[in-house]
Structure 1
Amino acid sequence: MKAVILAGGMGTRLQPLTSRLPKPMVPLLNKPVLEYVVEYLQQYGVTDILMALCWKSSVIEEHFGDGEEFGVKITYLKEKTPLGTAGCLQLGEHLLNEAFLVVSGDTISNFDLHAAIQSHKSSDCIGTVFGVCKSQTGEYGSMITHSSGRILNFMEKPYRTEVYSEYINAGMYIFEPDVFHYISSDEPQDICKDILPLLLERGIHMFKAKGYWSDIGSHSDYKAAQFDLLDGIVDLSPKCLLNTDSKNKICIGEGAVIEKGTVLEGPLLIGKGTIIEKGCKIGPYTAIGEGSHIAAGSRIEGSICWSHQKIHSCTHVIGSVLGSFCEIKAFSVLNNGSVLGENVVMEGENVVKEHVRVWPATRVAKGTHLEDTFSAKYFPEKEVFCSKGRIDFSMEEGGTIKAVKLAQAFSAACGKTGVIAASDGSALSALVTNLFTDSLRSFGCPIYLEEDPVPPSALRYGCYKFHRMGAYAFSAGQVCSILLFDGAGQVLPAEMEKSIESHYSKATLVSSKITGTKTRISGLAKEHDHSLRSEGIGEGSSSGPSYGLEMDSLSYRFYRDLMEESFIVKLEPADFSKGPALIFRLNEREQTLELKGAHGDLPITPSIISEIFNHRFKLSEVETPIQLLASLLKEIEEDSLHKEKLCLYSKAACQHVSCRSGHESRVLSRLISDEEFDRIRLSEGINIHHGEGNWTRIASLKNESVLSIITMDQRPEEALKTNEVYSKKIKHFQK
């Protein structure tokens, strides 16, 4: 079997380490990651390798040549422009006339390749995806499978509440040649996003891969993989090492000099030809590259130092990563998480704060302390968004700096698009709004600033009407939050969030020759009020009755109560031919709409509405909570049967079941496998159909280790019994 190694990535999340080096050539224990991949394939007899290259391709070609030195034959597929993980396969189509393997050039693993190939042959599918069991799957694409092993659906980097499986895509595949019928030669394509969804109907199989797997995607992942190798968790150690102390896991390369008085504490690796002077302490989980010189009295611990370092006396390097040919002069301190690119020179008595990045070939003056965002690109590893479209800023934890950085990342991801900005009117919200919008202007974005306090729904209406992106600020105590919306008034899609987070983490530079304009506007609230009346909410509306609500007072209460986070709409029985009152609670800040039920508050979402009305309900174009409510009221006005179905939903059984943190995806995965294939629909949770309009929905709750069970049944007493069945299953699957 032939293999294609995808080795064309730029590795932007690993910058500055990859500013001058292709990501697959980043060293692990002083050997490129890509070399581990080639050795892995060779071990299983896969010696005919096609290597897809793009960024800095010459570096890889010079290292591997024709592959003879590594016991393989390498054919290079060179992309003139990035073609994506699928597009680059087209370059080798004429060489791939039977089933072939696709592996990533920046991951290491020890999966049983023979077992994977046999599993693929037995499946009779067009493709097999290697799946790895991970308790936290949000950073990766997850796969939903049936008990047969067939893949039902893919979720590309899902939110926590959308994780239905503990298996993630490991970036390794086996494809039949027919896959090329699904790959376009005209544009870049991605295997995960573009090709796998097309193959679902043909049938895709998941191979449950067992063993070690690590994706070298971020600085923390890179360090973790290095530490795993040092610990011996996976046996991929370089063959050239002289293991001088197996008990303490201390490996010293040929020709290295360790002077007396040096303290070595494993696990650690010292490369060949390296000199460590007396009085040094080299602590655990350290790897020092070949040809380095560590001067007397220095301390290095938990760090990855590439080749040819020159560390002067009394220097401390703690939990850091140093690219090749760095020089750190005396009495300097590099703190945990700092990363230096190649050829950095620090003139001495320097301090580098936690998580600071220093770009290649930077010279830092003597006595300089690198601790702010802009001098050396400081960014913590935390996720930017705390929930869909929402970013929190704590004024006690550098929130003002974060607002400026967010603006920079937003501009890099979204371009110089116009932005409508508004707030709840508090002093803190106004401060953060001004910081964010003025920063956007400096990057060339025009700003439209609403002068009056408005609810989030009014801003979203403005985004929809004027096709502009939006930013809404509100505060509670010393924490201010910004909600970001797209040009249709929707919460930012996951793909755009990931793009912003990516640019935030690498502090992408954004330049502009002009400053964006700032236009002050007002009246969004009134325009939004008018639009609500036209949707059928309100007395005197041309398109619908008042539904028992006095619109004049509702308009006032609507805005006032939204500032207090929620308002209530109550539909009295007198407004309809029959049925009880329906009470809706709308929380615009949390972007939720709920219906008061007999057993607790029940969520109202587009997916649930689709289930209630058996997929016959036409949603409004803007599916914000208030627009969803408006659409519901219109439907009720036109068809009383819809109100009867909502009344039935209000009697649905509803309960919450505790689930151990990190186990939600495992439980949901087992619930899916336990059901019949054609009864399941995945949307905002697992929807299990029982026939005749009866269904159960099981979903994770945001920011809580709880699973929600809702069952709608024509016989409410049966709904309670069904809920209890699934409650017992959830508890059982956690054992």
Structure 2
Amino acid sequence: MGTRLHPLTLTCPKPLLPIGNLPIIARIIFALRKQNIREFIFLLHYQPEAFIDALGDGSAYDASFEYVALEKDLSTAGSVRCIREYVRETCLVHAADILAEAPVRAMLDFHRSKRSLATLALYPQPAPLSYGIVRRQPDGRIRQFLEKPTWPEVFSDWVNAGVYLIEPELVDHIPESDHQIYFEKHVFPQLAAAGAPLYGFPITGYWRDVGTPEDLRVANLEFLDGQLPAAFLTRDETARHRHERTFLAYGESNSIANTALLSETVIKSGCQIAANAKITRSVLLDNVNVLAGAIIDSAIIMDDACIGESACLLPNSLIGEGAEIAAQSIIQAHGVVNPKQRVSSGQVVPTRRVLPTGYLRGFVDGGSVMGMCFNADFMTWLGKAFGSRQALAAASNSEAVHRPILLCAADAGNMRELVTPLIAGLTAAGCDVACLQRGTLPLARHLLFSKNYAGGIYVGKEDDTNLLRVALLTGSGEDLTSLETCSLEFVDLLEHGRQGSVTAVDERYAYEHYLQALANVVPPGRVDSPAPVFVSIANAKIEPLLQRFVERLQLPLRINSLPGDVVVASPVETEGWHFEIDSAGEKLKVFFKNDAGMRTTISDGALAELLRQQVNGEVKLLFNWLMLPTCNREEDPRMIRVPGVKANFVDFARREKIPSWLSFDGQGSITISAWQSYPDALMVLVYLLPGLAALARRNDDATLRQQQLLSCTNELKAMLMRRLLENFAGNVTGISDGIRVGAEAECVIVRPCAGIDALQIFYAESPFNEKRNSLAALVTKNLTAWIKEKEDRFMKNGRRN
């Protein structure tokens, strides 16, 4: 249905949209005909008559066309299953919105040599976040698929190119359903996991998915600039591009005034361009009327639309069929005008979407938005998109529509440049905002869970990477999933008739409510400690909260607060226990001064044993790749490893129906389900205090996960992850949000960062391992060499050009 191209596809099927003066599907047919493919079957659902009228019986292409109109849109695999009687031999399946230079004969030879059930064309895409990525073995066999990953989930730069060779037997593996069935979601991943003969064939040359407005415009510009390969061109176009670049493409019966200024623009038939109109980098379909003085920049305008005098269309505007843009009106960047819609004289049509398709995915990690810095426009958009999402979700419940959004910052004063535009976006979406000027993430979650909020946003920093973190939260205090956060870019940003209000949350009341809840988990009687306890906090703004807590419960704690931008580094000159709490209030580390005077950190394994003793009943221990229990602990049936670095313990516990559990993420975030389903460093500290006397100070248990950042551009991340898989294939022990190489104490995890040009490398270190970091050193050495190799090649090509 081409929903990514709305409103263009509301009146025209996506494959019939133009590249130059011919539809996308015609370009695909040209490329296949030049490889002697003559028999075509078109599987249609949306406006089948339009296809038949546009393409005919195939005689114009010296080919045979057959059309099958389906009553329902069953998508790629579901549609093929409906015509299983046609699939009597090896068949080529080609997506109708992808231009690919795929050598079909070579691909067929490869397919037959492997006796493959299906062979997929694979294309190396440096930034594969908007595509389906594929894990391919050296012999070509496909082992894994993942659709539209975020950066931490990327394990390869091979993407599904939308061109397949299939055998008749494959149809038996397509589920029968009245709903949409996709090859890339419902067929190929299951076959790969089952070890079926599924192979990938790498292709080079030109490849473009023209399923978004941005890519459709770019494909047209490439056509105009002579970059579209000859395979997709008519003979006349090939001859013309051979002799000169063509920056304009005209159809028939166009009327263009001498004083009109046009550049890099496709104009189809029957268009009228009046005096002093200025059109750049745009696509105009049939019978578009542009009146005097109109300015059009990087827009796509459908049939029969009219652009009034001195109207202005800013970049990436989309104008539907028959729309009327009156004089002196303005369509803001990324503005959308639907078919037949009339924009009044002088009216301003606001931005609906401001991000290129897939852009947001580059900043999403575990549902949060991460980055070194965000400008005001981005933060305004994020607030407006989140607010619009919450309003739409609550639309069916009139009582919930006006519930406010909680906005909490680690320190709103120092983050004013982020908080202010966020509030502007939220209120523009009609949301009331309750603003807590300073607080921790657990405090925000607690308020969401216990109060009547529609959702929440927390703004703070990650201490280990210094990245800004914008955590998007549900009304119950849980994080949005990565998929839910990524989907914000598709939320329509329509102006709300009601401007939201802003109120301040009473900090004293919020703190008291939270502290009372914490106090309820303290075991009966006074909490004593066998030695002095020092607590260092990375966010000095929350010192009053901790101090009040200590005084209320008479805890034996001494507080050492640090400036908010300083990473915690507690002193070890003094005897006793030392706790570190990060600026978000989620992560807790415990260490002491050993007999040699060195700082010794207590491992998660030791903390887990202590916490188990404090929690009543049978408790499961959930841990991810970063926690390193000793072998005898991992054999304990109460211990369950959840794959990944940012594993979703809550979802796992729900799926497995685990009533009581502890979870450790290996970086200090500990969750005790008996209290709540999210990490809270203060709460964990309270649980730990009664048992400190029993905590053994054994150095042999202090196996820790270390980390470092390796700088590399976004364009290299996917390639590096693919080469890591290829070169350490025999030693890969897991793929999730990162690649795990080796096992336990020799384990190395490489993870592409969201929001920063770097890879995270986690590795195990033991004070008694003379060969410590050997695997980490080897992995890092290879990654560094591959980066240098790519950079040297780029510099060499740059000098050559």
Task: Give the TM-score of the pair, scaled to structure 2.
Answer: 0.71
Q: Label 1:491 to 1:223 Cα distance change in 2 as closer, same or farther (>3 A).
A: same
Q: What amino acid sits opposite 2:473 in the alignment?
A: F
- 2:704 maps to what in 1? 649
- 2:407 maps to what in 1? 423
Q: Label 1:72 to 1:333 Cα distance change in 2 as closer, same or farther (>3 A).
A: same
Q: State how far apart, in whole Å, the 2-side matches of 1:320 and 1:293 are.
A: 16
| 1:608 and 2:622 correspond | no
The one of 481, 499, 502 equivalent to 1:493 is: 481
- 1:343 maps to what in 2? 322
Instruction: Report the alpha carbon displacement of residue 687 of structure 1 after superposing the two structures with TM.
Output: 0.8
| 1:696 and 2:675 correspond | no
Q: Which runs of 5+ in 2 are unaligned?
A: 462-466, 536-541, 550-558, 593-597, 605-621, 643-648, 652-662, 672-678, 790-801
- 2:584 maps to what in 1? 588
Q: Label 1:140 to 1:556 Cα distance change in 2 as closer, same or farther (>3 A).
A: same
CA root-mean-square deviation: 5.0
Instruction: Report the alpha carbon displacement of residue 311 of structure 1 after superposing the two structures with TM.
Output: 2.5
Q: Label 1:311 to 1:424 Cα distance change in 2 as closer, same or farther (>3 A).
A: closer
Instruction: Report the alpha carbon displacement of residue 359 of structure 1 after superposing the two structures with TM.
Output: 2.2
Instruction: Report the alpha carbon displacement of residue 104 of structure 1 after superposing the two structures with TM.
Output: 1.2
Q: State how far apart, in whole Å, the 2-side matches of 1:170 and 1:586 are.
A: 44
Q: State how far apart, in whole Å, the 1-side matches of 2:695 and 2:385 are.
A: 51
Which digits, 9 at most, give the CA deviation of each residue in 1:654-682, with x for residues without a partner?
Answer: 44433344212211211110123463311
Partners of 1:327 and 1:346 within 8 A in 2: yes
| 1:126 and 2:108 correspond | no
Instruction: Report the alpha carbon displacement of residue 274 of structure 1 after superposing the two structures with TM.
Output: 2.2
- 2:792 maps to what in 1? none
- 2:546 maps to what in 1? 556
Instruction: Report the alpha carbon displacement of residue 215 of structure 1 after superposing the two structures with TM.
Output: 0.7
Q: Label 1:370 to 1:438 Cα distance change in 2 as closer, same or farther (>3 A).
A: closer
- 1:146 maps to what in 2? 137
Q: State how far apart, in whole Å, the 1-side matches of 2:111 and 2:17 are.
A: 31
Q: Label 1:14 to 1:667 Cα distance change in 2 as closer, same or farther (>3 A).
A: same
The one of 491, 509, 514 equivalent to 1:503 is: 491
The one of 184, 197, 208 equivalent to 2:202 is: 208
SS at match of 1:18: helix
Partners of 2:118 and 2:170 within 8 A in 1: no
- 2:250 maps to what in 1? 270
- 1:379 maps to what in 2? 354
| 1:680 and 2:733 correspond | yes
Q: Label 1:244 to 1:702 Cα distance change in 2 as closer, same or farther (>3 A).
A: closer
Q: Label 1:471 to 1:172 Cα distance change in 2 as closer, same or farther (>3 A).
A: farther
Q: What amino acid sits opposite 1:360 in the alignment?
A: P
Q: Label 1:411 to 1:543 Cα distance change in 2 as closer, same or farther (>3 A).
A: farther
- 2:654 maps to what in 1? none
Partners of 1:613 and 1:645 within 8 A in 2: no
Q: What amino acid sits opposite 2:289 in the alignment?
A: K
Q: State how far apart, in whole Å, the 1-side matches of 2:721 and 2:172 are.
A: 34
| 1:231 and 2:225 correspond | yes
The one of 718, 721, 728 equivalent to 1:665 is: 718
Partners of 2:376 and 2:421 within 8 A in 1: no
The one of 360, 363, 370 equivalent to 2:348 is: 370
Which digits, 9 at most, give the CA deviation of each residue in 1:114-157, with x for residues without a partner?
Answer: 22222222333433222111111122222222322222322322
Which digits, 9 at most, give the CA deviation of each residue in 1:579-624, with x for residues without a partner?
Answer: x9786554538x7777899999999995324654666634764768
Q: What amino acid sits opposite 1:189 in the alignment?
A: I
Q: Label 1:80 to 1:648 Cα distance change in 2 as closer, same or farther (>3 A).
A: same
| 1:180 and 2:172 correspond | yes
- 1:25 maps to what in 2? 16
Partners of 2:78 and 2:174 within 8 A in 1: no
Partners of 2:331 and 2:350 within 8 A in 1: no
- 1:168 maps to what in 2? 159
Q: State how far apart, in whole Å, the 1-side matches of 2:20 and 2:377 are.
A: 36
Q: What amino acid sits opposite 1:669 in the alignment?
A: R
Q: What amino acid sits opposite 1:588 in the alignment?
A: A
Matching of residues 27-106 of structure 1 within 5 Å: 27-106=18-97
Partners of 1:567 and 1:585 within 8 A in 2: no
Partners of 2:460 and 2:584 within 8 A in 1: no
Partners of 1:403 and 1:432 within 8 A in 2: yes
Identity of aligned residues (%): 17
Partners of 1:422 and 1:472 within 8 A in 2: yes
Partners of 1:87 and 1:189 within 8 A in 2: yes
Matching of residues 713-732 of structure 1 within 5 Å: 715-732=768-785
Matching of residues 190-339 of structure 1 within 5 Å: 190-199=182-191, 200-203=193-196, 204-233=198-227, 234-236=229-231, 238-239=233-234, 241=236, 249=244, 266-283=246-263, 285-339=264-318
- 2:456 maps to what in 1? 471
Which digits, 9 at most, give the CA deviation of each residue in 1:301-348, with x for residues without a partner?
Answer: 222111222223444333222212222344444333333222233343
The one of 358, 366, 376 equivalent to 2:337 is: 358
Partners of 1:229 and 1:235 within 8 A in 2: no
Q: State how far apart, in whole Å, the 2-side matches of 1:92 and 1:117 are.
A: 22
Partners of 2:157 and 2:718 within 8 A in 1: yes
Q: Label 1:452 to 1:226 Cα distance change in 2 as closer, same or farther (>3 A).
A: closer
Matching of residues 391-410 of structure 1 within 5 Å: 397=377, 403-410=383-390
Q: Label 1:448 to 1:336 Cα distance change in 2 as closer, same or farther (>3 A).
A: closer
Partners of 1:31 and 1:238 within 8 A in 2: no
Q: State how far apart, in whole Å, the 2-side matches of 1:242 and 1:455 are.
A: 62
SS at match of 2:771: helix
Mean CA deviation greater in 35-44 or 391-400 = 391-400
Q: Which runs of 5+ in 1 are unaligned?
A: 1-9, 251-265
Partners of 2:251 and 2:267 within 8 A in 1: yes
Q: State how far apart, in whole Å, the 2-side matches of 1:78 and 1:642 are.
A: 73
Q: What amino acid sits opposite 1:649 in the alignment?
A: L
Which digits, 9 at most, give the CA deviation of each residue in 1:486-514, with x for residues without a partner?
Answer: 5775432222223221224xx479999xx
Q: State how far apart, in whole Å, the 1-side matches of 2:90 and 2:573 are.
A: 65
Task: Give the TM-score of the pair, scaled to structure 1.
Answer: 0.77
Partners of 2:364 and 2:482 within 8 A in 1: no
Q: Label 1:125 to 1:595 Cα distance change in 2 as closer, same or farther (>3 A).
A: farther
Q: What amino acid sits opposite 1:607 in the alignment?
A: N
Q: State how far apart, in whole Å, the 1-side matches of 2:548 and 2:782 are.
A: 42
SS at match of 2:81: helix
The one of 465, 475, 484 equivalent to 2:472 is: 484
Partners of 1:461 and 1:528 within 8 A in 2: yes
- 1:710 maps to what in 2? 762
- 2:793 maps to what in 1? none
Q: State how far apart, in whole Å, the 1-side matches of 2:64 and 2:530 are.
A: 76
- 2:440 maps to what in 1? 455
Partners of 1:327 and 1:343 within 8 A in 2: yes
Instruction: Report the alpha carbon displacement of residue 270 of structure 1 after superposing the two structures with TM.
Output: 1.5
Partners of 1:77 and 1:91 within 8 A in 2: no
Partners of 1:593 and 1:603 within 8 A in 2: no
SS at match of 2:327: coil
Q: Label 1:705 to 1:54 Cα distance change in 2 as closer, same or farther (>3 A).
A: same
Q: Label 1:210 to 1:436 Cα distance change in 2 as closer, same or farther (>3 A).
A: closer
Partners of 2:581 and 2:589 within 8 A in 1: yes
